[in-house]
Each structure stands twice: as C-alpha cells, then as structure tokens.
Amino acid sequence: MAVSELPTHARAVIIGGGVIGCSVAYHLVKHGWRDVVLLEQGQLTCGTTWHAAGLVGQLRAHQNMTRLVQYSAKLYAELERETEQATGWKQCGSVLVARTAERVTLFRRVHAAARAQGVACELISPREAGEKYPLMRTDDILGALWLPHDGKVNPADVTQALAKGARMGGARIFERTRVTAIHHKDGVANGVATTRGIIAAEVVINCAGQWAKQVGRMCGVTVPLHAAEHMYVVTGRIADVHPDLPILRDPDGYIYVKEEVGGLLVGGFEPVAKPWGMDGIPENFEFGMLPDDWDQFQILMENALVRLPALERAEIKTFMNGPESFTPDNNFIMGEAPELKNFYVAAGFNSIGIASAGGAGRALAEWIVAGEPSLDLWPVDIRRFAPFHGDDGFLKARVSEVLGLHYKMPWPNRELQSARPLRVSPLYDRLAAQHALFGSKMGWERPNFFAPSAAQARLDYSWARPNWFPHAAAEHAATRTAVTIADLTSFSKFLFQGTDAPILLLRLCANDVALPPGTTVYTALLNARGTYESDLTVARLDAERFLLVTGTAQATRDADWIARHLPPGARATLTDVSEHYAVLAVMGPRARDLLARVTEARLDNVVFPFGAIREIAIAGAALWASRRTYVGELGFELYVPVARAGAVYDALMQAGAALGVRNCGYYAIESLRLEKGYRAWGRELTPDHNPYEAGLAFAVDFDHDFIGRAALLAARDKPPARRLLSLVATAPDTPLAHGGELILRNGEPVGDVTSAAYGHSVGGIVALGYVATGGVPVDASFVSARFEIDIAGTRVPVRASLKAPYDPARRKIKA
C-alpha cells in the first residue's frame, strides 16, 4: 500500500490536525495504540492553531485543570529532545497587575489558592512589577502577582512536534482529507466517510476545533460551541523588548502582552465579543483570517496605551483577527459523547487551547484507553451539557459574553446574564412577582434570594458582605424557626422502571436500595475505583418503579452513567422527567403544621417517618411527598405535576401565612446545608473522592455487590489520604469565605475549602474542605489541632470537626 493511500481500517480516527488532534494522537501512541489515523481537511495547524499567541498560563480555578497545563508546559519543554522539532517553549514567567482594590483582594486569594495547588506564585509590589517589566507604567497599579513558571511557545511548532512524535509512535496523518460523515450502528460509532474513502474505526475522535459542532451534528452529538473573533496586533521592534520579557496581563484593562521578534504582541479579551460564523464555518477556511476591526479592538488598544506608553511610537506590523471557538461556560469540552458510544470530543478551547493541549490530549487518551477518565474532569466533561445547549441562537448570545470572562472579576456567585431565561419552573412568574433574584444552572432559572422590593432584587458583587446578605439571613432564620418554601424544580429527576429495575439499581448503588415501596434512601453511584460518579436519592414508588432525584447539573451525566451500565436486553427503562414535575421543599419546624392545613393525609412519625415517600393530595392535585431535607430541618419535598404546581404553591402560601411562611432561595439553602455538613456533588463529591474521604461511609452497604465495592473494601481499613472536615469561624469581624481558600493545620498547608458560606445559625463562617491526613487516623485529636483558613491573606482560626456544626444528633430532622 502506498503511504498516501487511506487505510480501510484504524483503531482510532482523529478528525482535525490542530494542536488538540495532534496531542491526542501523540498520547494515544504513547499508550501503545499504533493504529491511529489523523485526518485534516487542509494542512496541519491551518484552523485556529496557527494564529494563536502562544501564551501558557498555568494557574487555573480548578486544581485538575492546573495539573493539565502544568503537564503541557513540562511536555513542551521536553518535546524537542524527543522529536528534534523545536516548540519555542520559553519559561519567561508572567506578571499580572491590578488596577483596583478588588483585584488586589483577588490576587491575595489567588496567591493562597496557588499554595494549595502547589503552583509557584508571589505577591509583588507595583515597584517590583515594574522591575520585572520596565516598559510598564506602574503609578496607577495597586498590586501584582508573579508566576515564575508560566511561559510561551510557538503554537505551530508545538503542533508539528506533537505530530512528529505521533508519527514516530506509528500514527499516520493524512492532510487534504475531509471527513464528510460519521458511521455508526446501534448507538456505537464505527468509522468515517472522507473525501478520499471510508475508514472503519473502533473509536472516532472529534478534534475539529470550530468545526466540531458541525462534525457532531453529522451523528447527532451536541458539541455546544460557537466561534467568536479574537484579535491581537504585533508591533515592530521596540527598544528594551527582549525574548526573556515576561508575559504581562492587565485584566482590568482586558489585555495581555507578549514579546514577539523584538516587538510586542498585544491582545486581549474585550467585555463584549463579536460572534462569527453564524451561517456555519466555511470548509475552505484554511489559514483564514478575518478583516481588521479597529472598532472592536479599540478598547484593548486604549488600555494597552495606558499600560505601555512606548506603544505610542510603535509601528503596528500585523493585525491578526482569527476565529476561536467558545463554549457556554468558558471551559472546554471533552469526553465520550453521551449520544454515541466510542465517539469522543475535544474541542471548544476558549482561547487556551495551546496551553491546555498537552494535558487535555493526555487526559483524553487515558479516557479513551480506559473507557473512563482517570481523574475528576467535571469542569470540562461533555456531559455537563444537554441538547438545548447546542442551539445556535443560544450559543451566539452566550459567547458574546463568554470571551470577556477570562479577565472579568470572578466574583463569588457570579452569574452570566446572556441568553436567559432559558428553562423556567411553573412558579417563575409568581416568584418573580415576589422580587426573586434568579441565578442560572443547567439553563434553569432558580431563585437565589427574595428581596423586599424590586429595586433591591439585584446582585451587587463584593468580596465583603453582599447586598443580599440580610435577605438570605431572613430566609435562613425562617427555615430554622418557622417554615419556608423553596422551588427546587431544577432537580434532575428520572423514573427508572421495569422488571429488572430493582436488581440493576442494586448493582449501581453503593447503599442498600432494596427498599420497601414508599421508602427513600440516599446513595452514591461509584466507579470501579470506588470514587463518586454521582450521589442521589432513590425513592421506591412501587415494586418495579423508582424515582431517582439528583443534582440540577447532573442530568446528562447520570443518565449516561446509568445507561452505559445497563446490560444488553435489560428489562428496565430510564426516563428523564425533570421537566414534568415541579419540586417544592416545605422546610422548617412548622412544616408539618403547614402541610396539615392543606392535606387530609396523615403526617405523623408513625405513618410518615423520616425517609418515607407518600402519595398525598393538596389543592386537588395528587403528588408525591418525600420526607427528606437538604437543610437539616423537619421537612417534605413535594413532587408536583407541572400543571398543578401553581395551585399547590398558592395553597401552601395562603395556609402558611399564619405560620410565618416565606420563600427561600438558593443562597440561604447553601448556608443551611453547610451548617448541616451536607455534601454537594462536584465540590465535595467528585471522581477524586471516595466515601471514606468524604465521611459518608454510613451510606455504603457492603452486604450487596455494587460497582466500586472491591476498591472500597481495600480502602476500608486504612486511614484515608485526606478527609473532609466541617470548619467554623465565629470570631467577630471575620472576612467572608467563598470557597477555594487554603487550609492550614498547625501552620502547614493541608488542603483547600470546597464550599463556604455565612452560617446564620452558628454565627460565622461555615465551610467544608478536604485536608491531607498524612496517613494518621482522623479522630478527635486530629481535629483538635490548630486549623486556619487563608482568606485573601488573612489567617482566620477555624474550629474543625467531623460532625455537622448544626444539630449533629439529627433531632430536628426526625422531629
């Protein structure tokens, strides 16, 4: 066979010869997969990769994302030795400057988070920043950060080096070969059609950059990304500019600056971006550029001139405007598509594709080879999206906002504003009329708090006490002392039913779900490593019918996990009923009194104990009432058919007036659940944690066989490497914690805070966080050590405990 002839079969076919496709190919061959084929419609790098600036900034918001970029930097530094192809890697470090006091607070938080993540990072003064970057004006900056391990590369050279390494390992790369169709059978991808013939394949990997949405649509896979214009200019030579100059980032001015052939490359992330490619991305956009747009670039140029006066006299040699793909949440997309087995995606890199490629390529290759990711990749997991995210109108509106997020202040509880509302509960208008301030999760509008007036229903972002603090405090207090109603309609809900449903569920769940009908149980879904894939509540409605209730963000992920573990021919079906039922949580010591006013059903502990689920009627509507709580009080969650939700809510509010009923939003729920030490999936519970580390071993039943059992048995008798603790700080004038803070034990860094809020019942900060144990048992003496958390540079003493700070004996719940 001539070398240029396409093979008819390959183990893996990769679509796209940008930096991502080449990295996936490189890492697949490192795993011993020889029969790897990469197809590129034009030439390698001709999509977005060739015009990238090449910045490699390592510190990310999520520890595992930082790990990916750290690995990229290491790989780019070493690749030349292996392949004899230079990558242009230079570890020049980066300087970030702050123009505002709020940004300085952020830098202090980032500095502590970097310690928690093991990334070298220094807080430096404006004078020191000026010493590192003498061209910079410093009289208007208030503080700076120095990241010595950041660097830069030549993106085209990195890609060629990865491609060469892949070829050296046996991969074959075919340029000028466009994929025109994805072949699949019975829900499994099995090959591609191309402009040069058909290739059968075991695995197909979509690394088609901004074309990845279109490639996904060839086989019904949602890849929610949209192109936006991204631009920089390059100047001629400027005195004192040399290759060792650090990267400069001035996020308050939206700009980044890099040395380029003795001149400066100035780019940035303007607050309102310009979407591109609304009629689809042209196929023949090889080494394509978009027209100069000085109007769009103006805000960046003005700010660059403020920071670098030398630019006034510099000649602009190049205006580079290229399209890059952005996603609904500014994180990239990877993993096996939930719609099609053996079809993987790595795309939508939001302008950090060069920095991420090494780590992302390795992580995806591991995922492909093992069939599941080897670490928590939830921030970038394709299953965080649902088909509605693929809508072009939604994406266009959203990416206008997303590009600017890179340098926008990452305020606590920051909400995106574009493309909303998308999904609303049947109570939306009623709650809006009561001055609800909504946030958005998985497209759902959810009330965060209720303000006394329309004018007060707003989010004023702050590191200190926010404007909504008193409103959430009132909702918190009402839940603890009277009764509140929270609209939890966004919960993901599934009906799992059929003859085999009970036995299949037992295998999936770590807890004993062989329940009598009318009972609920809290359980983990674990993987073979014994770590969390999900946590959910299982309610047995009757012999062969279960209601599964899980977190708002987990609908796609949990459905995928369950579906892929059903054996062929299983007599059980899973139906997503999230949009069929509203959920009203009636919580607080007067919850039973309130329900008694609107239903004939018996609600006492004999007939309706904690954990029971009963069909009852309210306002003529038949619904399920489940006696469970996420706030630590006596309470009932009502699962109401959407068409009846308004009537049920009205009846409850009317009957509850005399009992002091009020609405409760998600900010109050967050502080209530943290006082109770309740864990949240994605923060405390992830594929990096097992039930022993999470302190949830009580919800594991070893008397039945379940996925992850063997791994958990092996972990059972050893002290866990880290352990989740509740942390409370009640000293007056303590600054607020928001999650991500460094935890110290006896002065030594041991972990970070996963969730934090102000606990109005405990009167201070209430948080959860993992701490390294050093292999010693986590007992009373371990937790009695001196614990502190670092809040933007202030060491705050905290009391650590294994038990919930509020009602550890669970008396309230069982009242």
Ligand X SMILES: Cc1cc2nc3c(=O)[nH]c(=O)nc-3n(C[C@H](O)[C@H](O)[C@H](O)COP(=O)(O)OP(=O)(O)OC[C@H]3O[C@@H](n4cnc5c(N)ncnc54)[C@H](O)[C@@H]3O)c2cc1C
Q: Contact residues for ligand X (CB under 6 A)?
A: 15-21, 39-42, 46-49, 51-55, 178-179, 207-211, 215, 230, 232, 320, 322, 324, 347, 349, 351-355
Question: Whole-number minimum distance, CB 111 to ligand X, in Å?
Answer: 23
Contact 248, 199 (CB under 8 A): no
Rg of the Cα atoms in the chain = 27
Contact 656, 594 (CB under 8 A): yes
Amino acid at 786: R
Measured CA to CA in angstroms, residue 448 lies from 85, 434, 663, 683, 807 at distances of: 53, 12, 10, 19, 24
Instruction: Give the separation between CA 6 and CA 83, rounded to whole angstroms.
Output: 25
Helix, strand counts (H, E) of the chain? 19, 37
Q: Which is nearer to ligand X, 12 or 46 (CB)?
A: 46
Q: Which is nearer to ligand X, 94 or 537 (CB)?
A: 94
Instruction: Give the separation between CA 91 and CA 443, rounded to whole angstroms.
Output: 40
**Residue keyed to tokens 């979509």:** 206
Question: Whole-number minimum distance, CB 740 to ligand X, in Å?
Answer: 23
Contact 328, 442 (CB under 8 A): no
Instruction: Give the separation between CA 176 and CA 44, rounded to whole angstroms.
Output: 9
Instruction: Give the separation between CA 389 and CA 382, rounded to whole angstroms.
Output: 11
3-state secondary structure 604-641: CCCCCCCCEEEEEEECCEEEEEECCCCCCCCEEEEEEE
Question: Whole-number minimum distance, CB 202 to ligand X, in Å?
Answer: 19
Which helix (H) or strand (E) covers residue 647, if one does?
A: helix 642-656
Q: Which is nearer to ligand X, 49 or 138 (CB)?
A: 49
Instruction: Give the separation between CA 245 and CA 133, rounded to whole angstroms.
Output: 7
Question: Whole-number minimum distance, CB 356 to ligand X, in Å?
Answer: 6
Contact 241, 332 (CB under 8 A): no
Question: Whole-number minimum distance, CB 646 to ligand X, in Å?
Answer: 46
| CB proximity list for 657: less than 8 A, separation 6 or greater | none
Question: Whole-number minimum distance, CB 304 to ligand X, in Å?
Answer: 15
Question: Whole-number minimum distance, CB 81 to ligand X, in Å?
Answer: 22
| CB proximity list for 119: less than 8 A, separation 6 or greater | 58, 59, 66, 70, 147, 149
Which helix (H) or strand (E) covers residue 791, if one does?
A: strand 787-791
- Beta-strand pair 94-98/247-250: parallel
Q: Which is nearer to ligand X, 226 or 540 (CB)?
A: 226
Which helix (H) or strand (E) covers residue 24, if one does?
A: helix 19-30
Q: Which is nearer to ligand X, 93 or 551 (CB)?
A: 93
Question: Whole-number minimum distance, CB 333 to ligand X, in Å?
Answer: 10
Residue 454 buriedness (CB in 10 A; 0-12 / 13-18 / 19+)? exposed
Q: Which is nearer to ligand X, 68 or 574 (CB)?
A: 68
Structure tokens at 14: 């990769």
Residue 518 buriedness (CB in 10 A; 0-12 / 13-18 / 19+)? middle
CB atoms within 10 A of CB 598: 18
Question: Whole-number minimum distance, CB 89 to ligand X, in Å?
Answer: 13
Q: Which is nearer to ligand X, 221 or 696 (CB)?
A: 221
Q: Which is nearer to ligand X, 68 or 791 (CB)?
A: 68
Measured CA to CA in angstroms, residue 672 lies from 64, 456, 466, 629, 770 at distances of: 28, 23, 17, 10, 20
Question: Whole-number minimum distance, CB 206 to ligand X, in Å?
Answer: 9
Q: Which is nearer to ligand X, 181 or 713 (CB)?
A: 181
Question: Whole-number minimum distance, CB 328 to ligand X, in Å?
Answer: 16
Instruction: Give the separation between CA 655 and CA 647, rounded to whole angstroms.
Output: 12
Q: Which is nearer to ligand X, 273 or 594 (CB)?
A: 273
Question: Whole-number minimum distance, CB 185 to ligand X, in Å?
Answer: 21
Q: Which is nearer to ligand X, 211 or 546 (CB)?
A: 211
Instruction: Give the separation between CA 485 and CA 583, rounded to whole angstroms.
Output: 10
Contact 687, 532 (CB under 8 A): yes
Question: Whole-number minimum distance, CB 414 to ligand X, in Å?
Answer: 23
Which helix (H) or strand (E) covers residue 159, if one does?
A: helix 155-168
Q: Which is nearer to ligand X, 50 or 706 (CB)?
A: 50
Instruction: Give the separation between CA 258 and CA 155, rounded to whole angstroms.
Output: 14
Q: Which is nearer to ligand X, 347 or 728 (CB)?
A: 347
Q: Which is nearer to ligand X, 226 or 644 (CB)?
A: 226
Q: Which is nearer to ligand X, 338 or 361 (CB)?
A: 361
Question: Whole-number minimum distance, CB 337 to ligand X, in Å?
Answer: 16
Question: Whole-number minimum distance, CB 143 to ligand X, in Å?
Answer: 24
Q: Which is nearer to ligand X, 62 or 545 (CB)?
A: 62
Q: Which is nearer to ligand X, 46 or 95 (CB)?
A: 46
| Alpha helices (H) in 458-534, listed in sequence order | 469-481, 501-508
**Residue keyed to tokens 């306002």:** 619
Question: Whole-number minimum distance, CB 227 to ligand X, in Å?
Answer: 9
Nearest to 630 by CA among 705, 680, 582, 592: 680
Helix or strand or coil: residue 535? strand
Question: Whole-number minimum distance, CB 301 to ligand X, in Å?
Answer: 15
**Cis, bond preceding 421 (omega within 30 deg of 0):** yes
